[in-house]
Structure 1
């Protein structure tokens, strides 16, 4: 399973909002600038996130976006499913032989478990200065 820029940038948007949670609305322009992303692309991502009830827009001169729920109540899987669709490692699992089908389902379940047990609060509180194990980028 490969997460596209929609999922990656959507997570960035949501993590930014989680870090600003309780401080008022944040504009997409500010999020785009601070994360070196396209404001137009973030606008495209905000719409499905808003429709899914994960964020709210606030109009006006000091408007912008806020989380619609507490960061601990939003899972990474919620965001990825809204922007990427269902979580599946391969298409047409039902056509695979039983041994491969079981493998694909175990992989799907493992990915879902990680995404559904990682909250936006966890991601927002992660220390960006913490070194990462190099092997994890090659798994």
Structure 2
């Protein structure tokens, strides 16, 4: 299974909203500028995320998007499924011979397990842990 830019950029939006959680809305324009992405493309991704109940839009001069739920409650699998569709390593798994079908099922289940046990809060916290575990050397 290959995650396209839809899934990658959608996860970027959601992670930025998780980083800003509790501080009000953040605009897609801000995310696009900070990450060097197309604002227009992010707008296309925000719509299905909103329809799935993962984000809420806030109108007005200081509007933008916020997470619809706590980052601890949003699983990365939910985001990927909304933007990429079902998680499957190959098309037509049911038509494969049993040995290969068993392999594809094990791969699918392993990927699902990682995506469905990793939350936005886990990603945010991992990022903070990485920053705290870095050393600064001065010469």
Q: Same fold (TM over 0.5)?
A: yes
Aligned counterpart, 1:106:
106
Task: Give unpaired runs (5+ residues) of structure 2.
Answer: 132-139
What is aligned with 2:89? 89
CA–CA separation in structure 2 for the residues paired with 1:125 and 1:60: 31
The equivalent of 1:9 in structure 2 is 9
Runs of 5+ unmatched residues, structure 1: 132-139
Q: C-alpha separation between the residues in 2 aligned to 1:125 and 1:40?
A: 29
Change (3 A) 1:129 1:36: farther
- SS of 2:81's partner is helix
Residues 120-139 of structure 1 mapped to structure 2, 5 A cutoff: 120-127=120-127, 130=130
- Alignment TM-score, normalising by the size of structure 1: 0.91
Could you state the TM-score of these two structures normalised by the residue count of structure 2? 0.91
Number of matched pairs: 131
Runs of 4+ residues over 3 Å off in structure 1: 128-131
Name the SS of the counterpart of 1:65 in structure 2: strand
Corresponding residue of 1:116: 116
Stretch moving more, 50-59 or 119-128: 119-128
Residue 130 (structure 1) shift: 3.8
**Corresponding residue for 2:43?**
43
CA RMSD, 1 decimal? 1.4
Larger radius of gyration: 2
Residue 124 of structure 1 deviates from its aligned partner by: 1.5
Q: Deviations over 1:58-95 (max 9, x none)?
A: 00111100000000000000000000000000000110
